[in-house]
Amino acid sequence: MNIICNPKRSEWAELLKRPYVDNKTVLESVQMILTGVRQHGDEALLSFIKKFDGVELEQLQVQPDEMAQSETQLTDSLKQAIQQAKENIDSFHRKQLVGKEVVETMPGIECWRKGVGIEKVGLYIPGGTAPLFSTVLMLGIPAKLAGCKDIVLCTPCNSEGQIHPAILYTAQLVGITQVFKIGGAQAIAAMAYGTAMVPKVFKIFGPGNQFVTAAKQLVQMEGVAIDMPAGPSEVCVLADESANPAFVAADLLSQAEHGIDSQVLLVGTSEAVVNTCIKEVAIQLEKLPRKELAEKSLSNSKAIVVENVENAIDLVNEYAAEHLIISCKDADTIADKITNAGSVFIGNYSPESVGDYASGTNHTLPTNGFARAYSGVSVDSFLKKITYQKLSQKGLQGIAQTVIEMAEAEGLQAHANAVKVRMSEPGFGEI
């Protein structure tokens, strides 16, 4: 990790920039895939699966017997862990459901808002270097709670045409039955356009590599909604002298092992804190199976020393991390001052991996600084909010002149007339 000591505030913006990636070639490749699927449907999908996954398939949808077999292929302890995570995630997200609350803005005028589940949603679940069955929970549970009618799940298969059993078991556990053996940009294309085998959806969710991310961005331009802009996963750890260096190192490495483009940032209140943590990183790194990936990620990562906690708070708010871990004394007080982050982990005993899997919060979060303006996935992400209003004669009479005055001032006479014609009705206002 590159160590920067007490940089000037004027240098922060440059220091905190995510690495620029020229994805022109990626966009061109993805556009070719999207065009192929849009024009040739399943034929293109099967061709891309053969090309990228090295397997010839006849059927894209996972069959019921494959779903059923997945349960027998997992250990009881893993199934119990998935079930425990499901319960926690369900408990947290269920509380996000809000009932109808009618507001009487004036006598006789009632307004309210109602959440309606998006009818058709698509979930993309990465399954390459790491089969992210936990993401099935993070997306499938809020989709079900929101009342989405059709949930389509796409995930890549291996060279034998099989999907990791943990993904299938988890899908079955949350009640998702439409699972397809499609990965990469072609999966996004299939869900965006629809084919004979794969249903078209209205909104697409889920993380992925640069090809998946580019595909989501491109189909969004064609009118298909997506969960959020996303890039490589990232963590920022804010540490002071009370931090446990072994804990901090483990948190940094848990992010770095995602991939070579993962972002890792350590912000320390002293050089001693930073140096101790980095030494511990080197020790733990040697024992990791994914050491090579983590090393490459760390080589592009930074450790920044600041003069005090106040500066540290300002710095991490400017960075707007996907995951922010506060390993400091008075961690709760610091957490209250955080304005930009996808998810915050407070104190020495709140590792990021708990939020990634099982505490209950969602791990599908904004990256690349988008936490300044975007929230992570929630039940709301799967809902449309429709507003309603109902006026009695008394209510219309009370607000009529306000509407007429405003409409005529804007030169929209027909708007004013929509009120006037009702007021001119015989007997209006007598009730």
> Could you give the CA distance from residue 336 to residue 231 in angstroms, rounded to a whole number?
26
Residue of 323, 352, 408, 425 with catalytic role: 323
Looking at residue 156, its amino acid is: P
Q: Is 65 annotated as a binding residue?
A: no
CA-based nearest residue to 174, from 214, 123, 215, 211: 123
322 catalytic? Reply is yes
**H-helix segments, 194-345:** 210-220, 245-256, 271-285, 291-299, 309-319, 331-336
Establish whether 233 is an annotated binding residue: yes
Whether 323 sits among the annotated catalytic residues: the reply is: yes
Query: 356 near 343, Cβ under 8 Å?
Result: no
C-alpha distances (whole Å) from 255 to each of 3, 232, 252, 298 are: 18, 10, 6, 10
- Is there a binding annotation on residue 186? yes
- Would you list the DSSP string of 150-164? EEEEE----TTS---
39 is in an annotated binding site: no
3-state helix, strand, coil in the chain (%, to 5): 50, 15, 35
284 is in an annotated binding site: no
- The C-alpha atoms of residue 248 and residue 187 are separated, in whole angstroms, by 37
Q: Annotation-wise, does 255 bind a ligand?
A: yes
Q: Is 323 annotated as a binding residue?
A: yes
Q: Which of 234, 280, 322, 352 is catalytic?
A: 322
Would you say 415 is a known binding-site residue?
Answer: yes
What is the token pair recorded at 353? 């991996």
Residue 124 known to bind ligand: yes
Do the Cβ atoms of 204 and 226 come closer than 8 Å?
yes
Which residues does the annotation place in the binding site for Zn(2+)? Answer: 255, 258, 356, 415
Which residues does the annotation place in the binding site for NAD(+)? Answer: 124, 186, 209
Which residues does the annotation place in the binding site for substrate? Answer: 233, 255, 258, 323, 356, 410, 415
List, by residue number, the catalytic residues: 322-323
Which residues does the annotation place in the binding site? Answer: 124, 186, 209, 233, 255, 258, 323, 356, 410, 415
